[in-house]
Every structure is written in C-alpha cells, then in structure tokens.
Chains A and B, each alone.
Chain A
Amino acid sequence: MDLDLAWDLHPQVSVRPEPFGALLYHFGTRKLSFLKDRTLLTVVENLATSPSVRTACTAAGVGEAELPRYETALEALVRSSMLVERE
C-alpha cells in the first residue's frame, strides 16, 4: 500500500463504532471486518478527508513507530475490498 496515496471506504461499506473498535460490513461481498482498535477506526474515518493514508494516520495520532502496524491492518482492509483507492 502506498501511504502517500488517498484511499476511501468502499461506497458499499457501512461502519458501526463499537467499544472495542468498529464493525465494517460490506453489502457487496457480505463480509464483516472487526477493527479491534479505536485508533484504527479514527484512521478509517479520517481517510475521507485526508489527501493520503499517511496524513489520516498522523491525524489519528499514529506515530512513525506504529505506522507499519496500521499499514498492515489497512492492507488487510484493501484485500477484502473495504478500502478502495481514490480516483
């Protein structure tokens, strides 16, 4: 995943915040993804208003040391079509 590109939630994905993080449901693939971290939820929410994944992470308070961990999580969401690259 290129952290300097902009990504968005797939338009068919619904997000439900939960105490443990969030539930993402994709109406097209019928897949559920559990975000087990509130910071990751903030990153995902920030994507829509951020010019890049990196700025979305920074705005959520993710430091450089933690960035690879969140990148891995976001890549999992890309593989399950929860996130799509902004055109």
Chain B
Amino acid sequence: MSASKPTASPASHADELVESESLVEEVSIDGMCGVY
C-alpha cells in the first residue's frame, strides 16, 4: 500500500502568496532629516 503525496499543501500556497506581496517594498524618504 502506498500513500500518494500531495503536490501542494494549503500552507505552501499561502507562503507563495505572502512572498508575492513582498517582492517590492516602498519607502518615502521625503521629510527625513539629514538625508541630503
């Protein structure tokens, strides 16, 4: 008897979604002192 291995778990799918949202992160330096 052999158990079939799932191809993708809900957890790994969730990880992919989180990763896709964090490929780009934006920051504004407007108003920061001592930057220029």
Could you tell me which A residues sit within 8 Å of B by CB distance? 29-37, 40, 68-70, 72-73, 76-77, 80
Contact = CB atoms under 8 A, between A and B. Distances in A.
Interface string B13-36: 000100111111111111000000
Contacts of B24: 33-36, 40, 73, 76-77
Contacts, number: 47
Interface residues of B, number: 13
Contact of A34 (B19, B20, B27, B28): B27
Contact of B29 (A30, A34, A40, A72): A30
Nearest to B17: A69
A33 B16 contact: no
A80 B21 contact: no
Given A32-B27, A34-B24, 8 more contacts: A31-B28, A33-B25, A34-B26, A40-B24, A69-B19, A73-B24, A76-B24, A80-B26
Nearest to A25: B29
A65 B20 CA distance: 12
Contact of A31 (B22, B23, B27): B27
Nearest to A23: B27
Contacts of A40: 23-24
